[in-house]
Amino acid sequence: MKKTLLKNLHLINPCSEQAFIENAFVAISGETIESVGSSEPGGEFDAVHDLGGKVALPGMINAHHHLYSTLAVGMPLPKNTTSNFTEILQEVWWKMDLALDHDSTLASFEAGMLDSLKAGTTTVIDHHCSPSYIQGSLSLLAETGETLGLNTSVAFEITDRNGEEKFEVSLQENLDALKKYSGSPHVQPTIGMHASFTLSDESLTKIHDAVTQHESWGIHIHVSEDMADEKDAKGRGYSSVLERLDRFDLLNENALIIHGLHIKETDVELIRKHNALFVHNPSSNANNRVGMTPNLNLNELSSGLGTDGMQANMLREGKEGMLIRSSHLQGGAASADYMQLLFDNNPKIASKLFGRKLGRVLPGYQADLAIFDYSPRTPISETTIFGHVFFGLSEPPSDVITRGEFRIKDRQLLNHSEKEIKANAVSQAKKLWSHF
């Protein structure tokens, strides 16, 4: 197994016992971190990298993303003006996802994963939707992640909104991925569902009957992003969206519950009872003007942090989340701890799903690191890292390591052409936009 030593780097390990190590040595064996400390480890190394005093963070985790929306940057706005959340979905996202074919989907995956890697995001928990190109889309996603060296959680959004045939093919695509990738180290399959309000009782029964044939599974679903979802569940005779999902036995310890803006105390209890996973996406919620997840729910549910397709940069999402929340609060009011969401809760979520240790630079964890060429203007210590992480590290990392290998070195993407990925994305975006 290849042995690599990283030396002369200042290591920030937020939410870990020793949160800062000056002049650290990180020894890597194969894909796994073997030791971390301030004295040089003995033994022979195949490669020794002197990082010249750069600052390292753990490779970050995006706990909810939509890589398929990568080509939406600058997309023409809908002809009809949108006045609420459901109309935004209908006029923007459901038109866009329906226009994706194999080539534009691949371009979205490549460009979106490149963005992630360049921002130091090394694990992406994705929620995919391309209703005109379903079969094989999750394998394409997994393969793109393998090629670029990311850890990828894959799911296809099952929904009734495109008819029964597409419902069936989407369900099958999730089941195929579950069979193909269960137990694989870098690809984690979940059962994607768009949202309760686009799935009938009959569809929920079908999903339940299909997934329970499998030993291990978990759903990945938008819940209560807008009041419209709760109203829909009530209209169908359930007291809430989560109560509806529970009634169909779809909640378990692997379930990813996304958003949950309008959930009730009894819903919080349901999530806790099942030990399910909860993910907050502040910049998307602000953008859609759907409200803000209460502090208490984030704390009680050990919430993770995702971007919901808004961006690939987790440090920016954390900072924006903090500021959006502050803008809603009175002076002196308690806020949420975005450091904990990003560097404590996200690693726990990803480690549970992937079945291996992800998201910290500690022995036994996968060697994923984001390394910044950062000269601080104030001292870095255990007690000052919050400021440096969210207000100091404004430039993207210069080096990114995943699975013990450099993927980006001195700002250069290795093994792939960034220029070609971007050029292809631009031409695919032009083609995609011509549909609206």
Q: Which stretch binds Zn ion (CB under 5 A): 4-12, 271-279, 300-308, 416-424?
A: 300-308
Token pair belonging to 54: 């750069």
Q: Give least dist CB 69 to Zn ion, A.
A: 9
Rounded alpha-carbon distances, angstroms, from residue 340 to 38, 48, 245: 25, 32, 28
Site string for Zn ion, 342-371 (x = CB under 5 A): ------------------------------
In the chain, how long is the greatest CA-to-CA distance?
Answer: 66
CA dihedral 56, 18, 253, 218 (to 10 degrees): 10
Distance CA 141, CA 151 (A): 11
For Zn ion, the closer of residues 62 and 144 by Cβ is 62
**Closest-approach residue to Zn ion (CB):** 308
Q: Which stretch binds Zn ion (CB under 5 A): 134-142, 227-235, 303-311, 357-365?
A: 303-311
Q: Give least dist CB 308 to Zn ion, A.
A: 4
Q: Give least dist CB 409 to Zn ion, A.
A: 32
Q: Give least dist CB 194 to Zn ion, A.
A: 9
Residue 17 carries which DSSP code?
Answer: S
Q: In what order do the strands lie in the sheet with 20-29?
A: 32-37, 20-29, 3-12, 47-58, 369-372, 399-402, 405-409, 412-413
Q: Which stretch binds Zn ion (CB under 5 A): 78-86, 203-211, 305-313, 376-384?
A: 305-313
For tokens 């992003």, what's the residue?
A: 225
CB 12 within 8 A of CB 389: yes
For Zn ion, the closer of residues 31 and 308 by Cβ is 308
CB atoms within 10 A of CB 432: 22
For Zn ion, the closer of residues 115 and 308 by Cβ is 308
Q: Give least dist CB 20 to Zn ion, A.
A: 34
Is residue 308 within the footprint of Zn ion (CB under 5 A)? yes
For Zn ion, the closer of residues 65 and 407 by Cβ is 65
Distance CA 29, CA 31 (A): 6
Site for Zn ion in 87-126 (CB under 5 A): none
Region of residue 55 (phi > 0: left; psi between -120 and 50: alpha; otherwise: beta): beta
For Zn ion, the closer of residues 224 and 402 by Cβ is 224
Q: Give least dist CB 269 to Zn ion, A.
A: 24
Q: Is 5 helix (H, G, I), strand (E, B) or coil?
A: strand
For Zn ion, the closer of residues 34 and 308 by Cβ is 308
For Zn ion, the closer of residues 16 and 170 by Cβ is 170
Residue 212 carries which DSSP code?
Answer: T
Site string for Zn ion, 249-288 (x = CB under 5 A): ----------------------------------------
- CA 293 to chain CA centroid, Å, is 18
Q: Give least dist CB 39 to Zn ion, A.
A: 45
Site for Zn ion in 309-328 (CB under 5 A): none
Q: Give least dist CB 64 to Zn ion, A.
A: 6
Q: Give least dist CB 85 to Zn ion, A.
A: 12
CB 370 within 8 A of CB 400: yes
User: Which residues make beta-bridge pairs with 7?
Assistant: 50
Q: Which stretch binds Zn ion (CB under 5 A): 3-11, 117-125, 304-312, 382-390?
A: 304-312
For Zn ion, the closer of residues 207 and 221 by Cβ is 221
Distance CA 410, CA 127 (A): 31
In order, the DSSP letters of 137-162 are HHHHHHHHHHHHT-EEEE-B-B-STT
Q: Give least dist CB 91 to Zn ion, A.
A: 17
Distance CA 121, CA 117 (A): 5
Q: Is 365 helix (H, G, I), strand (E, B) or coil?
A: coil
Total of residues contacting Zn ion (CB under 5 A): 1
For Zn ion, the closer of residues 16 and 108 by Cβ is 108
For Zn ion, the closer of residues 226 and 308 by Cβ is 308
Query: Which positions touch Zn ion (CB under 5 A)?
Result: 308
